[in-house]
Structure 1
Amino acid sequence: MRQLSWSCLLPVSNPSVLRVICAGALLLLVVHGLGRFIFTPLMPQLVADGQLLVSQAANLASWNYLGYLLGALLAMRWSNLDKLRRAIPAALALHCLTLLLLSLTDTVSVIAALRLLNGISNGLVFVLVPALVMEWLVDRGKVRASGLIYLGVGSGLLLSSALVSLSAPWLSHAQRWWPAALLSLPLAWWSWQVLATLHITHGSSDTTSSLPARQALFDRHSLPLFYAYAGAGLGYILPMTFLPMLASLQLGSNDAMVSHSWLIVSLAALPSTWLWNHLGSRFGDRNMLLLNYALQLSGVLAALMLPAPLGLALCSLLIGSSFLGAVLLTQRLARALQPGQGPRLSAALIALYGLTQLAAPWLSQFWLARNGALADTLWLGAAALFFSLLCMAWVKDLRH
C-alpha cells in the first residue's frame, strides 16, 4: 500500500488531464503565490521590522513588476515548443534561487535586484506554462478546461497568507522569506516532471508556424479586448499590492484587518477560477468580462468611499473573487478572436498586463514622494477599471 501511494506522485508518460492541470496550477502557485504576491502580506511585517520604509516597499514592487514584464516579453521570443521546454525549468530554477537569496540579505539594493530577477522568472512561467497546457488541451479537445490552471494562483494566495501568518512570531527581517523558498523547491520539481512529458501533435514544434506570415496580432476585433485588459492590469494591482498596508495605515498595525484583508482575498480567489470558467462557458466570455470588471470597479470604490473596515473588506472580497476570472476569460476570448496564435498571443497579453501593472507602484511612489496618501492612489485604479468596462462594450460577442 505504501508503494502504491508513492507511485501516484511519480510522473507518467501519458498523464491524465487532471494531473496536467494540477501540475500547471502548482507551478502558478509557486511563482505567483510564493514568488510574487507573498510580498503583499509580508510588506507590513518587513516595514515593522525596520527592514523597509513604505516608499522602499512600493519601489520593490515596481522592480518585481518590471521583471514580470521583461519575462513576458522574453516569453514572446521563446514561444515555440522547443524553446519553451528549456525556458520553463530555467525560469523555475531562477525563482527558487532568488527566494533563497532573499532569505539571506537585508540590503535594499540587493533585495531590489532579486525581486527583479524573481519577476522575470514569474513572467516566463506565467506565460509559458498556461500556453503549453492550453495547446495540449486543444490537442485533446478539452480547451474549456484550460481556465482551471489558474486555480493555482488562488491557492497560492491562500498558502502565502497562511505561511506569513503562521511564521510571523518566529521569523523576522530576511528570515521571513524562508517558508516560501523551501516550499517552492519540491513543488516546482514535481510539477515540471509532469509537464516535461507532454506531447503536442497538432502543428509543428513552432505553434505559430502554420499561420500566414503577415497575420496581425491585433485587429479591430481584438484591439478593444487588449485595451480593456490593460486597464484591468492597472486597476486591480493597486489594491492587490497595498491592501494590508492600507489596513495598517488606516486602522493600526495591530488591527486584525491587516492580515484578514489578504486572507479574504485568498479565500475569495480560491473558488473564483472554477466559477468564472463555468460562467464564461455558459454565458459567453465577453459578457462575463463585463460583469467581472464591474465587480472589480465596485471593490475599489468601496475601499475609497466606505469606512475603512467595511470598505477594505468589500474591496478584498470583490477584487479577490474577480481578478483571476479576468485573466482566464481574456486569454480564452483572445484565442477565440485570433485562432492559432497560441503562446505568442498569451505572451502579448501578459506583457500588456505587466506593463500597466508596472506603472501602478511607480505612480504610487511618485504620489507618496509628494506627501500624498497611499489610499488616494486607488482613484487611479478606479478610473482604469471604468476604462476597461467601456472598452469591453466594443468587443465582439462570439455567440452571435
Structure 2
Amino acid sequence: MTEQRYRSHTDSIYGELDVPTVVNAAGTKTRIGGSLIRAEALEAMNDAASTFVELGDLQAAASDRIAEITGAEAGYVTSGAAAGLCLSAAAAIAGHDIAAMDRLPDTEGLPSEILMPRTHRTGYDHALRAAGATIVDIGTNDLHLGTGSTNVEPWEIEANITDETAAIAYMEKSYTEPPLDVVADIAHDHDIPVIVDAAAELPPRSNFSRFIEQGADLVVFSGGKGIRGPQTTGIVAGKQEYIESIALQHLDMHVAEAAWSPPKRLIDLDNFAGVPRQGIGRSMKVGKEELVGLIYALEAFMEEEQAETQREWQNRADNIACAIEDAGLETHVTGGSDVSVAPEVVINVDESSETTAIELVRRLRAENPRVYLGGDRIDEGEVVANPMCITDDEADYVADRIVANVEN
C-alpha cells in the first residue's frame, strides 16, 4: 500500500529526468532541497518572471520590509545564508571604501581579521574567509572537561581586538557563549560590528528582532528553510552603513556614473566617491523572481499561526514514534529547541535491533523514493525523524519503511 501511495513520485518532473525523489524526514537540509516553497511565493515568482524591473529598486523594497519585521535599520536579500555571511564580511572589511571593494578578497593593508569564539567555528565560516577575512580563534573547549569553567570569557575577546580586527562573528545556537549582548557591547566599545549567523533560527518569528535587540550589527537568515522561500535566498538585516556596502558589492555596477541613480534609501551616493567596479558579490546574484518569491514567502511566514504549525509537527512526530515503537524499536520524542525548532523522533537503532543506524540510513537512501532521516546522531547508534518537511501520509510511509528495513 505504501509503494502504491508513492507511485506518483515517479510521475513528477524528476521522474522524467530519471532522478529519484526524496521523502524528507531529515528537516530543512540544503542537500535535499531545503524546504518546499510556499504556494504564494511560487505564484509571485511566476508573475515576476513576466516583467523587467530595476533590481536596486526591488532590493530597496525588500529592505523596507525586512527592516519593518526585524527592527533593523535596513535589510538585503542574498543568494542564500552563506552568501549573506560572505557579503557581511566584505562590508565589515571594505565599508564605504570603493577602492577596497575593488580589491577583495585581497585584503593586504586592510583590517581583515574576524574574531570568533572557538566553539562557534563551523565549516560555514568558509563564507567569511571567502571575502578575504582571516578567522582568529578565541577561547578553548574547557566547558567539556566538566570543571565548571567556560569555553570563552568576555575578556578573551576584548584582549584579542587589535587594529587588524574588522568584526566579530557569532554562531547563534543554544550552546554558544558568551551571551550575544555581552559580545556586542565589547565590539561596539571598539567600533567594530558583530555578524550573527542565524541561518536556521526561524521559526520562531521573535528571532527576527531578538538578535538586533541584543546588539547585532548584521544578522543572516536562510530564506529557504523555515520561511519556505526560494532555496537560493537569504536575508541580511542590520545597520544601514553595512547594508549599503553589501548592495554596492552585490548589484550590477556596469553603469555610467552620470546615469547612476540607485534608490537613496538603499544607497546614498553622498557616501561614496563614485561607481565601484563589479564587487565580490557579483557571482552571488539574486534574480527578480527569487527576490519577489522571498518577499511573498516572508509575508506568509509572518501571517501563519505558529501554534497550529507546532501542533501539526507534534502530532506527526508522535504518530511516527507510536508506529515504530509498536514494531519494538526504542524511541523518544524531543521538544523543539534552538537546534531544531520542531519536535523530533529519536530512534535508538543499535540498542533495539540487529541493524545498525548506518545500515538503516544507507538502505533507506537507496530506495525509490529515497527516504532521508537525520543522521547527526548516527555515531551514537541513533537516527532522527523530523516532521517539518513531510505530510501525514509521508510520515506513515517513513515509519513503514523504517520498520521494514530494520526487520530485513
Structure 1 length-normalised TM: 0.27
Max radius of gyration: which structure? 2
Which has a greater percent of strand? 2
The TM-score normalised by the length of structure 2 is: 0.26
Task: Give the number of the structure with larger relative contact order, counting CA–CA contacts within 8 Å between residues 6 or more apart.
Answer: 1
